[in-house]
Amino acid sequence: MTANQDLKWARRGTILSMVAYAMIATAKITAGHWLHSSALAADGLNNFSDTISAVLMFIGIYLAHRPADFNHQYGHRKMESITTLIISFIILFIGGQVTLQAVTQFFTTTSTQPSPVSALIGLISGIIMLGVYAFNLRIAHRIHSTGLKATAKDNLADALTSFVTAIAIITSQFNLFWIDGVMALIVGIIIIKTGIDVFREAAFELSDGFSPAEIERYKHTIYQVPDVRKVQAIRGRTYGPHVYLDITIAVDPMMTVKEGHDITVAVEKVLYMTYFIEAIDVHVEPDN
């Protein structure tokens, strides 16, 4: 799939998220106010923050697909991770606000019963967000987008919180009013957990973190290339969906330069054929 096709699919996912979040946030905040459900209003506030996050992700993905230039020889794919990091802060802020409001509610006496209609709104919202989650996750795997994966994870968290909110409202019909506040607190905690997960993934990629398990897989594959005596070092980093590898291998010291070059080509080919890795730098050392 070309870069333009990747951008096209990524835009579809973020636009779908923006539209869904804007509609659901408006419905929940309005209904939560008029139907006296703090849990529904809290979930709506979360969806409003997700609308902003989706807009930022749309901008970030667009910038990430800009081609390499004089100042960015490796391209701009880190912009997607930077955008994801910013979004994690927004999620954490909203989660903190929702949690604080839920805790405050415990000290406020109320006997207002939320309308059963608000539970229906929560259920419908949850079903919609499950569909958005499935769509975005499928695209994220197709184009290997870490930003869209983070968006999908947020979609799933929003679907779950919508179902939790609906359960709270249904339970309140049995005069257990305090459960609405408890569920609002649970919503806040889920939002904070999502923000922490998104932050960790973005920070890991921006700090050039790389999975040791992946390194071992690559090393095992390289040893299948004839005449590779030893894999002395492998270093990996990611730029969006692209993996960059720096590899040092040891070969017979009596080989000619041409023979050593042919081995590096074989290593690059097997890694591309097995893992679709294009950016590989192989350095050859004599095996002493």
8 A C-beta contact, residue 185 and residue 102:
yes
Per-residue pLDDT, 260: 92
8 A C-beta contact, residue 243 and residue 276:
no
Shared-domain flag, residues 137 and 57: yes
**How confident is the prediction for the chain on average, in pLDDT?**
83
CA distance 194 to 107: 27
Shared-domain flag, residues 216 and 202: no
Domain boundary among 174, 206, 238: 206
Helix residue ranges per DSSP H, the chain: 3-34, 38-64, 78-105, 116-143, 146-172, 178-206, 212-222, 257-275
8 A C-beta contact, residue 191 and residue 218:
no
The whole domain housing 260 covers 212-286
Candidate from 171-175, 182-186, 260-264, 278-282 with smallest mean pLDDT = 171-175
Higher pLDDT, 192 or 31: 192
- Find tokens 């990430």 and name the residue: 64
Per-residue pLDDT, 231: 95
8 A C-beta contact, residue 47 and residue 159:
no
Per-residue pLDDT, 39: 67
| Percent of the chain whose pLDDT exceeds 70 | 92
Average pLDDT (45-49) is 77
Hey, what are 37's tokens? Answer: 């459900």
Shared-domain flag, residues 246 and 189: no
Structure confidence at residue 122 as a pLDDT band (50, 70, 90): confident
The pTM of this model reads 0.74
Helices 78-105 and 178-206 cross at an angle (nearest 10°) of 160
CB atoms near residue 56 (< 10 Å): 17
Hey, what are 95's tokens? Answer: 């989660």
Per-residue pLDDT, 51: 83
Helices 78-105 and 146-172 cross at an angle (nearest 10°) of 20
**Exposed (0-12), middle (13-18) or buried (19+): which is 154, by Cβ within 10 Å?**
buried
Per-residue pLDDT, 40: 75
Shared-domain flag, residues 182 and 50: yes
Does 280 score more than 80 pLDDT? yes
Closest to 188 (Cα-Cα) out of 6, 41, 13, 1: 41
Per-residue pLDDT, 235: 94
* Whole-number CA gyration radius for the chain: 25
Structure confidence at residue 154 as a pLDDT band (50, 70, 90): confident
pLDDT tens per residue, range 133-151: 998 888 888 877 777 887 8
Shared-domain flag, residues 111 and 240: no
Hey, what are 1's tokens? Answer: 């799939």
CA distance 194 to 157: 7
Structure confidence at residue 214 as a pLDDT band (50, 70, 90): very high
Shared-domain flag, residues 257 and 120: no
Per-residue pLDDT, 43: 73
What CATH number has the domain bearing residue 159?
A: 1.20.1510.10
Shared-domain flag, residues 139 and 216: no
Average pLDDT (81-89) is 87
Shared-domain flag, residues 44 and 177: yes
Structure confidence at residue 112 as a pLDDT band (50, 70, 90): low
Per-residue pLDDT, 109: 55
**Sheet arrangement for strand 242-251:** 230-239, 242-251, 279-286
pLDDT tens per residue, range 218-242: 999 999 999 999 999 999 998 877 7
Number of structural domains the chain divides into? 2
Shared-domain flag, residues 59 and 175: yes
